[in-house]
């Protein structure tokens, strides 16, 4: 493999904008005596496609629920909280419910009214209603003062860096078994490092030095993409053709657990789950929503099992918007407004949080959607401030005054 500047910088999605500040992994390293054993781990999971919160967490106690949802109203749901259930496909989450480790915020979302997946996702991941593109993401800004100690303090397990981490210099790891500079000769690495070191005033050169150092740490801790034996932590050495789309979320969670167990100092990770754009056959038992529901439930259950007793973890599950209250003619739903966020972990306050606007005709957004009663930034701010133990920088959510929801104890 020929090692080039372009190849090196592509690995990390390193942006020049991120280099104006001190690199997070060149900051003084924190003492690791207390290590990662009880350190907080924040896992964000974006449900791409607009997940139907009324299906995820059905408001079975709402007098209008059966009438409003028609054939999509669930005849049976799993017990969850007063007035609310869980979709039966989320059965793997019952142990979390019984341990008081699952919570939801209903009627949550943003003020975006475009009904466009891309615009709504971008605005939410930027965390700044004043911008729909460019700049940095909310998690990148939050990391600036909360996490900055190691190259892998935050990562994205995805084929492309999500907008929430733009500007952080974080890595997007598409395939952990192949991540790195596979096949690059030591002489080529040394030559590139020498070139970069001679131009430290060049932001591209600084980015290159950062990437080289980070990749060396990855290879040392995880075992190295060029090693003959499987990397430490149980990562499989897949040599099959790369998939064009991300693998299921449950596979990403397995990868996360393997990386975390290898000693990689992960404090925050961005994951995503696809398949939530359920315009057709949503309500059927084996319909469009059954597979992503099962994937989400299995993933959160695996995360709980893998981190239980070892890490102070929190998973925040969000989506760009909900779906229409009433089904369409194809037994599905169309793009809506309010949805539901899920939070899982040992420190959550169980139950459903936030005001419930109801499903009466007069309460619906534009006469068709669940209204947004809680801005999603309240949820994220509380997750950052309470779970990570530090007030997020003011610029994390510009011109926004967060209110505590009591989601976390």
pTM of the model: 0.84
With a cut of 50, say whether residue 177 has pLDDT above it.
yes
Q: How confident is the model at residue 13 (pLDDT cuts 50, 70, 90)?
A: very low
Q: Which of 211-215, 241-245, 402-406 has the lowest mean pLDDT?
A: 241-245
pLDDT at 265: 85
**What's the CA gap between 161 and 173, in Å, rounded?**
8
Parse the chain into domains and list their residue ranges.
42-176+249-396
Would you state the pLDDT for residue 287?
Answer: 81
- CATH T-level topology, domain 42-176+249-396: Alkaline Phosphatase, subunit A (3.40.720)
278 in Cβ contact with 332 (< 8 Å):
yes
Count of other CB atoms within 10 angstroms of residue 387: 22
pLDDT above 90 (res 167):
no
Rounded to whole angstroms, the Cα distance separating 4 from 184 reads 10
- Give residue 218's pLDDT: 77
DSSP state of 305: H
Cross-strand pairs, 374: 108
CA distance 245 to 242: 9
The whole-angstrom separation of Cα 65 and Cα 360 is 9
First to last CA, the chain: 50
pLDDT given for residue 24 in this prediction: 30
For the stretch 229-238, contacts whose Cβ atoms lie closer than 8 Å and that sit 24 or more positions apart, written own/partner, are 231/176, 231/177, 231/262, 232/262, 232/263, 233/258, 233/259, 233/260, 233/261, 233/262, 233/263, 234/258, 234/261, 235/176, 235/177, 235/259, 235/262, 236/177, 237/177, 238/175, 238/177, 238/178
249-278 confidence digits (pLDDT tens): 999 999 999 999 988 889 999 999 999 999
DSSP 230-256: PPTTT-----SPPPSSPPPHHHHHHHH
The per-residue pLDDT for 264 is: 85
In terms of pLDDT, which residue wins out, 144 or 55? 55
Report the pLDDT value the prediction gives residue 390, as an integer from 0 to 100: 73
Residue 399 CB coordination number (10 Å): 9
94, 333 in Cβ contact below 8 A?
Answer: no
213 in Cβ contact with 25 (< 8 Å)? yes
pLDDT (tens digit per residue) in 276-333: 999 999 987 778 899 999 999 999 999 999 999 999 999 999 999 999 999 999 999 9
Mean pLDDT (the chain, rounded) = 82
> How far apart are alpha carbons 294 and 90 in whole angstroms?
6
Give residue 189's pLDDT: 65
pLDDT of amino acid 190:
72
Rounded distance between C-alpha atoms, residue 377 and residue 255, angstroms: 28
What is residue 245's predicted lDDT score, i.e. its pLDDT? 53
Q: Which of 8-12, 93-97, 174-178 has the highest mean pLDDT?
A: 93-97
How many Cα neighbours within 13 Å face the side chain of 370?
A: 37
Per-residue pLDDT tens digits for 104-114: 999 999 999 99
The upper half-sphere exposure of residue 305, i.e. CA atoms within 13 Å in the direction of its Cβ, equals: 14
| Biggest CA-to-CA distance, the chain | 71
Q: What are phi and psi of 294, to 5 degrees?
A: -65, -40
Q: Would you place residue 132 in the very low, low, confident or very high pLDDT band (cuts 50, 70, 90)?
A: low
pLDDT computed for residue 180 by the predictor? 67
Question: Highest mean pLDDT range out of 226-235, 309-318, 385-394?
Answer: 309-318
Q: Looking at residue 114, what is its pLDDT? A: 92
Asked whether 125 and 112 are in contact (CB, 8 A), the reply is: no
114's tokens: 């475009």
Summarize pLDDT for 351-372 with one digit per residue, the tens: 999 999 999 999 999 999 999 9
- Please give the pLDDT value at position 4: 52
Confidence of residue 97 (pLDDT cuts 50, 70, 90): very high
- The single residue listed with the structure tokens 């050169």 is 205
The DSSP code for 361 is G
Those residues with Cβ within 8 angstroms of residue 160's Cβ, 6 or more apart along the chain or in another chain: 13, 172, 174
Confidence band of 29 (pLDDT split at 50, 70, 90): very low
| CA 140 distance to own-chain centroid | 13
Q: What is the spatial distance between Cα 391 and Cα 385, in angstroms, rounded to a whole number? A: 5
Say if strands 171-172 and 154-156 run parallel, antiparallel, or are unpaired. parallel
d(CA 242, CA 240): 6
Tokens 């449950």 belong to residue: 250
pLDDT computed for residue 228 by the predictor: 34
pLDDT value for 184: 60
Contacts of 106 (CB under 8 A, 6+ apart): 53, 57, 59, 84, 338, 340, 352, 353, 354, 356, 373, 374
């Amino acid at each position: 493999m020929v090692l080039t500047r372009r190849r090196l910088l592509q690995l990390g999605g390193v942006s020049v904008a991120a280099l104006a500040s001190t690199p997070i992994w060149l900051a003084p390293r924190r003492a690791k005596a207390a290590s990662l054993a009880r350190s907080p781990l924040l896992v964000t999971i974006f449900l791409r496609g607009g997940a139907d919160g009324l299906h995820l967490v059905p408001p079975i106690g709402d007098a209008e629920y059966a009438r409003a949802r028609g054939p999509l109203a669930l005849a049976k749901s799993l017990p969850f909280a007063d007035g609310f259930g869980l979709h039966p496909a989320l059965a793997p989450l019952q142990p979390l419910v019984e341990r008081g480790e699952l919570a939801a915020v209903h009627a949550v979302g943003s003020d975006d009214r475009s009904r466009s997946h891309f615009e709504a996702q971008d605005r939410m991941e930027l965390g700044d209603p004043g911008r729909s593109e460019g700049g940095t993401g909310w998690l990148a800004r939050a990391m600036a003062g909360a996490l900055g100690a190691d190259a892998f303090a935050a990562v994205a397990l995805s084929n492309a860096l999500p907008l929430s981490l733009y500007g952080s210099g974080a890595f997007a790891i598409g395939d952990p078994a192949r991540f790195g500079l596979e096949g690059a000769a030591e002489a080529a690495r040394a030559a590139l490092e020498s070139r970069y070191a001679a131009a430290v005033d060049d932001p591209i050169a600084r980015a290159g030095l950062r990437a080289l150092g980070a990749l060396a740490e990855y290879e040392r801790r995880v075992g190295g993409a060029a090693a003959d034996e499987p990397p430490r932590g149980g990562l499989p050495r897949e040599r099959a053709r790369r998939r064009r789309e991300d693998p299921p979320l449950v596979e990403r969670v397995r990868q996360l657990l393997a990386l975390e167990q290898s000693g990689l100092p992960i404090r925050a990770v961005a994951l995503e789950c696809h398949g939530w754009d359920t315009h057709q056959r949503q309500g059927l038992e084996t319909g469009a929503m059954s597979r992503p529901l099962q994937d989400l439930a299995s993933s959160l259950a695996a995360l709980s099992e893998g981190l239980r007793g070892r890490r102070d973890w929190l998973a925040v599950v969000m989506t760009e918007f909900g779906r229409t209250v009433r089904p369409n003619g194809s037994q599905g739903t169309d793009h809506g407004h309010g949805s539901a966020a899920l939070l899982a972990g040992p420190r959550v306050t169980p139950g459903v949080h936030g005001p419930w606007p109801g499903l009466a005709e007069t309460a619906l957004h534009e006469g068709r959607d669940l209204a947004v009663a809680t801005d999603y930034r309240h949820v994220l701010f509380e997750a950052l401030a309470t779970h990570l133990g530090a007030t997020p920088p003011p610029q994390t959510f510009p011109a926004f005054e967060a209110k505590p929801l009591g989601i976390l104890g």
